[in-house]
Amino acid sequence: MSAVLQLSNVVKTYGDLRALDGIELSLPEDSYVSLLGPSGSGKTTLLRVIAGFEQPESGAIRFSGKDVSNTPPHERNIGFVFQNFALFPHLSVYDNIAFGLVNRAVDPVTDMKLLDRKVRDMISLVGLAGLEGRATTQISGGQKQRVALARTLVTEPQMVLLDEPLGALDANLRARMRSELRMIRERCGVTFLHVTGSETEALAMGDTVLVLDRARIAQQGDSDTIYNRPCSPAVARFLNCYNLFSGKMADGGFATAQGLLGFQGHPQRAADPAYAIRYDRVDIRPAGAAATADEVQIEGTFIASEYTGSAVNAFFSLDDGKVFEVEAHLSHRAPENYEPHRRYALAWKREDALVFA
Ligand code: ADP
Ligand code: MG
């Protein structure tokens, strides 16, 4: 697959701060890409540099094979959907969507019939039929999000950048808009680069997931790879589904405050050593239960459980005060009741552990 966008060694500074510190990435055509990173990691800055609203100090940006470093934003043919939607409150849904086409810097649409057809096609694509005449102050959050998207897509960009597009929506709507956004993208066939601080959103939506850590791309891969084989403890931490132990390699395992933890195979190379076990790979047993030779077992004191709908997460306090989390999917097993302050054994298979050294 050929790349629609390539960045090499892109650096952007604000005074002493390196907001982007040598970004390397290559995005495939016709795909959904999510960019995951904690707040302040440089996500918005990266989008603004790609769109051309900010000039990087160094590095190259190639769009469809062409260097666009000196191309102004309105000539890049890249759409931008802002976090707060940025709709015109005094204009109707229809006029908000038409605005971009009429006022496009390159090739504005002046034929009213053509304009009407394009706007109506877009309104139906994003599921807003019937709301054309409404003011944008009289529609819901999800509908605003669709107007913002339609207003960008109607200009037929070759790529669309979305900055936390679902951040302003409530949880139910957010889940529904995820699949809608994916469907809309498939219909128009352009690459979406979707920025989010939510690991579940990034993994659920992206054909490709990029993880931004301290102004650099820490990992790029499909959701499965990122989820199952994070390339560093930092990436594992952002995914919010791994218990991490610091420590160091030792004879027969990885030495931590919990003792020697066994694993299989070779550790992955990383700057900061760590041992990681996924929340949903841990079995909870009565304290003192026997473990098999291919298992690792520690003990912890039960604190509390939290239901999330499809799963229950149980929290344990380890002897050094560290909190250890176990996730049980309710489709796999019925929820059990654990007794607060009681000790339990926490066991997992050696082969399920990830070790960074
Ligand atoms: P994110 O979108 O991941 O939360 P940002 O890209 O907004 O992160 O910001 C990355 C870093 O750059 C932050 O430390 C932020 O404070 C800083 N920053 C962003 N924009 C500016 C600006 N215009 N002037 C100075 N610092 C900025
Ligand atoms: Mg941001």
Q: Compute the mean pLDDT over every residue in the chain, rounded to the nearest whole number.
A: 93
CA 88 / ligand 1 centre spacing (Å)? 26
Exposed / middle / buried, residue 344 (Cβ in 10 Å: 0-12, 13-18, 19+)? buried
Section 88-105 average pLDDT: 90
Task: Give 37-80 pLDDT, tens digit per residue.
Answer: 999 999 999 999 999 999 999 999 999 999 999 999 989 999 99
CB-proximal residues (5 Å) to ion ligand 2:
43-44
Q: Which ligand sits nearest to residue 167's alpha carbon?
A: 2
How far is it, in rounded angstroms, from Cα 8 to Cα 189?
Answer: 25
Range from 146-155, 167-176, 283-292 carrying the lowest mean pLDDT = 167-176
Task: Specify the range with the lowest mean pLDDT, choosing from 38-47, 139-148, 205-214, 249-258.
Answer: 139-148
Nearest C-alpha neighbor of 96 from the set 129, 133, 53: 133
For 177-189, the pLDDT digits (tens) are 899 899 999 998 9
259 - beta bridge partners?
256
Nearest atom within ligand 1 for CA of residue 46:
6
Q: Tell me the average pLDDT across 316-338.
A: 88
Q: What is the reported pLDDT for 352?
A: 97
pLDDT of residue 142: 87
Pocket test of ligand 1: the residue of 14, 35, 80, 217 to mutate, having most ligand atoms within 8 Å of its CB, is: 14
Mutate to test the pocket of ligand 1, among 10, 45, 211 (most ligand atoms within 8 A of CB): 45
| Ligand of minimum distance to the alpha carbon of 238 | 1
Q: Is the pLDDT of residue 334 over 80?
A: no
Instruction: Give the list of residues 6+ apart from residue 169 with CB closer than 8 angstroms, or none.
Output: 141, 142, 145, 177
- For residues 70-97, give the mean pLDDT: 91
Residue 354 has pLDDT above 90, yes or no: yes
Confidence band, pLDDT 50/70/90 cuts, at residue 170: confident
CA of 124 to the centre of ligand 2 (A): 30
Residues 6+ apart with CB under 8 A from 221: 208, 209, 229
On the question of pLDDT at 1 being above 70, the answer is no
What's residue 86's pLDDT? 84
Domain architecture of the chain: domains with CATH: 3-228 (3.40.50.300), 241-356 (2.40.50.140)
Does the Cβ of 53 fall within 6 Å of ligand 1? no
Our measurement of the distance from residue 286's CA atom to the centroid of its chain's CA atoms, rounded to an integer in Å, reads: 37
Residue 254 scores a pLDDT above 90:
yes
pLDDT at 251 over 70: yes
Three-class SS state of 260: strand
**Residue 309 binned pLDDT confidence (cut-offs 50, 70, 90):** confident
Whether residue 192 has pLDDT greater than 90: yes
pLDDT surpasses 90 at 114:
yes
Q: Where would I find the H helices in 64-198?
A: 93-102, 112-125, 141-153, 171-188
Ligand 1 centroid to Cα of residue 205, in Å, is 25
Query: Do residues 157 and 190 touch, judged by C-beta distance below 8 A?
Result: yes
Centre of ligand 2 to C-alpha 25, Å, is 19
61 beta partners = 7
Q: Answer whether 196 contacts ligand 1 (Cβ < 6 A).
A: no
Ligand 2 centroid – CA 317 distance (Å): 34
Give the confidence band of 116 by pLDDT, cuts at 50, 70, 90: very high
CA of 12 to the centre of ligand 2 (A): 15
